[in-house]
Amino acid sequence: MKRRDFVRAAAVGVAGIRGAGDSGIRIAPSRRSTWLLVPMDETQGDHLKAYGVTFRVLERGSKAEWFLNYRNGSFLLPADTTTQRDAAVAGVSATLLDDGQAAEIRAELAQGNMDAVPLEKAPKVAVYAPPNAAPWDDAVTMALQYAGIAFDKVWDPEVIGDRLRTYDWLHLHHEDFTGQYSKFYLTYAGAPWLQEMVDRNQRTARQLGFANVPAEKKAVARTISAFVERGGFLFAMCTATETLDLALASDGVDIAASFADGTPMDVAAADKMKWDRALAFQNARLELSPSMAVYSEIDGHQVNSPDRRQPLGAFTLFNFSAKIDPVPTMLVQNHRQVIPDFYGLTTSFNKTALKPGVTVLADEPGAPWAKYIHGERGQGTWTFLGGHDPEDPQHQVGDAPTDLSTHPHSPGYRLILNNVLFPAAKKKELKT
Amino acid sequence: MIRVGIFALVALGVATAASAQDATTRALELERRGDYAGAASAWRTHLAARPDDLSALMGLERALTPLGRLAEMIAPMQAAVQHDPSPGVLGVAIRVWTAARQPDSARVAVERWAALEPASEMPYQEWGLSAYSARDRTSAKAAYVLGRQKLGRPDAMAAELGQLAAAEGDYAGAAREWSLALRKVPGYRGAALGILGQVPPAGRSALLRELGKDGDLAGDRLAAALLIRWGEPLAGAKRITAALTAAGNGGVDALQEVLDDLRTSSTAEHYAARAMVLELMGDRAQGPQRARIRLEAAQAYADAGDQTAARRLLATLAGDPAATPSMAASATSTLVSVLVDEGGVEEADRRFRELAPILGAEDRQRLALRLALGWIRTGRLAQADSLLVADSSVDAQAVRGRIALYRGDLALARTMLTEAGPFTGDRPAATERISILGLLQVIEEDSLPALGDALYRLERRDSAGAATALMQLAPTLAPDHGGSELLLMAGRVHAGTGHNAEAERLYRTVVEQGVPASAAAAEFALAGLLLKTARKELAIAALEHLLVTWPTSAVVPQARRLLDVARGAVPAT
């Protein structure tokens, strides 16, 4: 095929791109298609890659819109050749629209619990992960790589060195900010990966001038909190949620076991916690046993405590008013309202431990815990999602990696990607 | 008055028991909730009233351990020992004194317990285990050695000492201790394998040398099991067969144990090891059982690819009077398969014709198919066809369709391969058949001997000749009537034989010709080749081109998946 033929094919014959509506009728040549509607309902060919296509539109300096609650959170993109080609290569379903058809949809948005949120600028994304982190053991890293969203990895030296100022969005996954190596120290004693983790953390703490790993991680947690205060967007999953808050609230309090810092945990630590410094949680009792991979009663499921472990159920996303509460509305856009739950070192958040003012985005009806929560701190926001991997509910150390090409419609992973695009909407005046 | 007094005493007794039960329940609940400080307090309150309650004493021990306050156990433990110096309480005392690093006091408790139960290993085991848990291996070893001396039994606490030796890297010592332990209690085998199986490669030769020394069969059995576990099944089989040959005619249970271990995998090496062990078992068996085991051994040799050994065993079976008619038939059947695999098709055919009258229909069809494939490989298409002409099964149709294809009779091939359907045979054969049918549909000729010749060369592993024949034939057909498909096939043959440059040239030609199905498949193959030769960016460009240019092609899902792998967006599996 000649190059000009290829370019022509890219412009008009792309996969999954249809004319107006779902009829597959192509638009007449006299009507100019200026928009590409990416539906996010059941007709979408690859929900996760749709976020990547939208993100890359923003990266190229173009604008997009997020149609909240319209066909489960569709995107309106410019119908330029590059975007159409990108959608075709990614297998993302899209429909060509002219200006009149786009106006009709806007009129429909105005009538119901829907809204159009402009997306203006691709956020600069950082993922907090140690240099030797396994590439397929972090749901956000996997989602970003699958969707094709560019990101940098940062770790303690970059955080302490104030590099977070150069990013808009930061993700934390299963880091233990209490500095206790996920409390795997006794269970996996002798495992080479744990030894490597301990050595690396201790070396880094020394290099950065801290007496021990728990002290260093507390400093990292404070820097992350300051990043949010300044206007950053923080998204955390799994045990990073709980331990970040424990590290923030335990300033001056020894909550680490002796294997981590040489001294046993202060048994009266719970009474000395400064919960006002935490982002989401308060007044939680702490786990005193160094051999139990549990930190506190914040986690509702307690997966590593045989006596206290709760079975997995399903969580339900809340509905919000798109026009009044666009931020939580963005965070819950999905083609499924009820999503099977998944374990993590921290799986869920006991509602009794939530601070007043925290917005619950999803919970398990009838259960005392929330799954997905959101809040503000200073100029910025944070969002916590419990659990480790939405498509590996029983995740164990050493499990085979999740292959997202077999889960292109994962509703759990969509929640992660909602968070990545949400900062792009920041410039619109938000009511929440 | 007396009756009232009795009622009062009974009521008081019931109330006290209920109160104790409540206290225990409350303490356990506090423990379950992780409130260890609260639980310790509850247990302590309970012990103040009942200092000899062993379960409460152990509850207090459990609660104080995570708090790092085990030293607080000393007073209640001493009180309990004073009230009731039973083995259970003395066990707590040993653990508490060991945790408090007071070995003299621990030893006193051990001696008190040993005085109560002079023949028991338990006091020393408790002491050693407590020290081991506190990472004090020296004290643990001293406790076990003391126990062995006091008990006067050289195999006392062998498993414990074996575990310690392995932890200290003394693999020869570990081998000696575990051999002792296994001789005493064969049920320790699982534990021995679990611990010694983790010995690093550098320490294995020392361990294996020590096991089985002085003709100790238990040690050799353990060594064989370890070798199998470490991925050396043949070495494991040789180890046990050598040990048993020296030991005489016994040891069938040892052979059975090795056979069970070998069932975990199906590699050629595992089959060879199984065959070796089965042959030895056969030598030790009598009558029909001997014939059955030898037949099984011959089949295992054949599965391992050792046709010579398989034939040697099958020959002995042929003259074995103990073999039943069905065993003899099975043996001959196996021999026919072995001969076909070896290329001795003439002899296989002769034996098959002798055997055919006594074979069941299913076995006869299976062997005839195998034999037909053997004739096809040797170039005797007519012989192959004659074997199957009376067989109307779909498997036979599939093979006869291939024979017609190699003869260039495309019309008959099309009919028979279609009748064979998409599910006959194993997956690779079914896939190949569907792709051949696809080729025949676009060619639309009824007879094309040159194509049959090219494909028959491929069947007979003449890849270079097949590729040349396909490339010569392709220009004689229009690209959209098989020309592109034949070039694509030639490209795949070249790629399969490592001629990447020629394969790439042919793939690019097919892409340029632009026949949709062939071009998309060629571009997908090209991308795979580019990735294989470390040209990732070019591969990504080819895949993107494919996805945009032929969005409805059948290879699109695979192409999208390969693109994800090339970009590092998903794990390569």
Q: Is pLDDT of B3 > 90?
A: no
Pairing label, strands A33-38, A94-98: antiparallel
Check CB contact of A148 with chain B, cutoff 8 Å: yes
Does B567 sit within 8 Å of A6, measured CB to CB? no
Q: Do B567 and A148 touch (CB under 8 A)?
A: yes
How many interchain CB pairs under 8 A, A with B? 87
Has residue A355 got a pLDDT over 70? yes
**Mean pLDDT estimate for chain A:** 88
| Band of pLDDT at residue A9, cut at 50, 70 and 90 | very low
Query: Residue A7 pLDDT > 80, yes or no?
Result: no
Q: Is B5 on the interface with A (CB under 8 A)?
A: no
Residues of B in contact with A146 (CB under 8 A): 564, 569-570
For A137, the closest chain B residue by CA position comes to B571
- B560 to chain A: which residues are within 8 Å by CB? 90-91, 405
A85 and chain B in contact, CB less than 8 A = yes
Q: Which of A85, A290, A297 sits opposite B66 (nearest CB)?
A: A290
Residues in A touching B545 (Cβ below 8 Å): 6
The answer to whether the Cβ–Cβ distance between A13 and B548 falls below 8 Å is yes
Question: Buried b / exposed e across B71-105, counting CB within 10 Å, b at 16+?
Answer: eebbebbebbbeeebebebbbbbbbbbbbbeebeb
Tokens representing residue B234 in the block: 């043949």
Average pLDDT over residues A388-393: 92
For B31, counting Cβ atoms within 10 Å of its Cβ (0-12 exposed, 13-18 middle, 19+ buried), the class is buried
Among the listed residues A251, A248, A253, the one whose alpha carbon sits nearest the alpha carbon of residue A227 = A248
Q: What average pLDDT score do residues B469-482 get?
A: 96
Q: Choose from B70, B163, B543, B547 for mutation: most chain A CBs within 10 A.
A: B547
CB A240 within 8 A of CB A177: yes
pTM of the predicted structure, to 2 decimals: 0.69
Closest listed residue to residue B189, CA positions, set B176, B200, B198, B178: B178
A267–chain B Cβ distance below 8 A for any pair: yes
Q: Do A308 and B33 touch (CB under 8 A)?
A: yes
Q: Is the dihedral of CA B298, B302, B303, B305 positive or negative?
A: positive
Please tell me if residue A88 touches chain B, with a CB cutoff of 8 Å.
Answer: yes
Per-residue pLDDT, B258: 93
- At residue B562's C-alpha, the angle toward residues B559 and B568, to 5°, is 145
Rounded CA separation B507/B541 (Å): 15
Q: Could you read off the pLDDT of A253-276 as tens digits, one per residue?
A: 999 988 888 888 888 898 999 999
Per-residue tokens: A356 = 């007043």
Residue B552 touches partner A, C-beta closer than 8 Å: yes
Per-residue model confidence (pLDDT) at position B2: 42
- pLDDT for position A186: 62
Inter-chain residue contact B571 with A403, CB threshold 8 Å: yes
The mean pLDDT of B496-518, rounded to a whole number, is: 96
pLDDT at B136: 79
CA of A34 vs chain B CAs: smallest distance (Å): 20
Classified as helix, coil or strand, A38 is strand
Q: Is the alpha carbon torsion for B514, B515, B516, B521 positive or negative?
A: negative
- Per-residue pLDDT, B229: 92
Q: What is the ipTM of this complex?
A: 0.77
CA-wise closest residue to A372 among A241, A250, A282? A241
Cα B340 from Cα B327, distance rounded (Å): 20
Q: How far is A29 from chain B (nearest CA, A)?
A: 21
Each residue's pLDDT tens digit, A395-420: 776 677 889 999 999 999 999 999 99
Looking at the predicted structure, is the pLDDT value of residue B272 above 60? yes
The pLDDT of residue B490: 97
Contact at CB, A9 and B68, closer than 8 angstroms: no
Which residues of B are less than 8 Å from A91 in CB distance? 547, 556, 560
CA B183 – CA B176 distance, rounded (Å): 11
How many angstroms away from the CA of A136 is the closest CA of chain B? 7
Candidates B552, B569, B573; nearest CB to A145: B569
How far is residue B218's CA from residue B212's CA, in Å, rounded to a whole number?
7
Out of A123-132, B1-10, B48-57, which region has the weakest mean confidence (pLDDT)? B1-10
Rounded CA-CA distance A156/A178 in Å is 14
* B230 touches A at CB < 8 Å: no
pLDDT of residue A11: 36
Q: What is the pLDDT of residues B89-100, one digit of tens each?
A: 999 999 999 888
User: What confidence tier does A29 reach under pLDDT thresholds 50, 70, 90?
Assistant: very low
Q: Is it the case that residue A155 has pLDDT exceeding 80?
A: yes
Per-residue pLDDT, B57 = 93
Distance CA A189, CA A201 (A): 16
Which residue of B66, B545, B563 is in closest CB contact with A289?
A: B66
- What confidence tier does A196 reach under pLDDT thresholds 50, 70, 90? confident
Cα angle vertex A136, ends A132, A142, to 5°?
Answer: 120
pLDDT the model gives residue B248: 62
Residue with tokens 């009820």: A338
Is the minimum CB–CB distance between A258 and chain B shorter than 8 Å? Answer: yes
**A78 vs B12, which has greater pLDDT?**
A78
Q: What is the mean pLDDT of residues A317-321?
A: 95
| pLDDT for position B316 | 80
pLDDT higher than 90, residue A363: yes
Q: Which residues of chain B have a CB within 8 Å of the CB of A1?
A: 511-512, 514, 519, 549
For the beta carbon of residue A32, count every other beta carbon within 10 angstroms.
11
pLDDT at B453 over 90: yes
Contact B547 A292 (CB under 8 A): no
Contact in structure between A259 and B66 (CB atoms under 8 Å): no
Report, as an integer, the average pLDDT of B175-203. 89
Asked if pLDDT for residue B372 goes beyond 70, the answer is yes
Among B302, B248, B263, B256, which residue's Cα sits nearest to residue B278? B256
Please list every residue in chain A whose beta carbon sits closer than 8 Å to the beta carbon of residue B568: 135, 145
pLDDT of residue A36: 97
Confidence of residue B285 (pLDDT cuts 50, 70, 90): confident
CA distance A219 to chain B (A): 26
Nearest-angstrom CA–CA distance, B127 and B111:
11
| Residue numbers in B near A136 (CB within 8 A) | 571
Residue A130 touches partner B, C-beta closer than 8 Å = no
Instruction: Answer whether A307 touches B (CB < 8 Å).
Output: yes
Inter-chain residue contact B548 with A136, CB threshold 8 Å: no
Phi, psi of B572 (to 5 degrees): -75, 125
Q: Could you tell me which chain B residue has the CA closest to the CA of A190?
A: B167
**How many residues in chain B?**
573
Residue from the list A88, A148, A267 with its beta carbon closest to the beta carbon of B548? A88
Selecting from B36, B37, B549 the residue whose C-beta is nearest the C-beta of A1 gives: B549
List the structure tokens of A34: 């200026």
Average pLDDT for residues B346-356, to the nearest whole number? 86
Mean pLDDT, range B455-466, rounded to an integer: 94
Contact A292 B66 (CB under 8 A): yes
Q: Please, which pLDDT band fits residue A191 given cuts at 50, 70 and 90?
A: low
The answer to whether residue B549 neighbours chain A at the CB level (below 8 Å) is yes
CA dist., res. B443 & res. B451, Å (int): 10
Does residue B338 have a pLDDT over 50? yes
Residue B534 in contact with partner chain A when CB distance is under 8 A = no
Mean pLDDT of chain B: 88
Q: Residue B253 carries which side chain, given as an amino acid letter?
A: D
Q: Is the pLDDT of residue A92 over 70?
A: yes
When pLDDT is cut at 50, 70 and 90, the band that residue B120 belongs to is very high
Say yes or no for a CB contact (<8 Å) between A145 and B519: no
Q: Quick check: B496 pLDDT over 70? A: yes
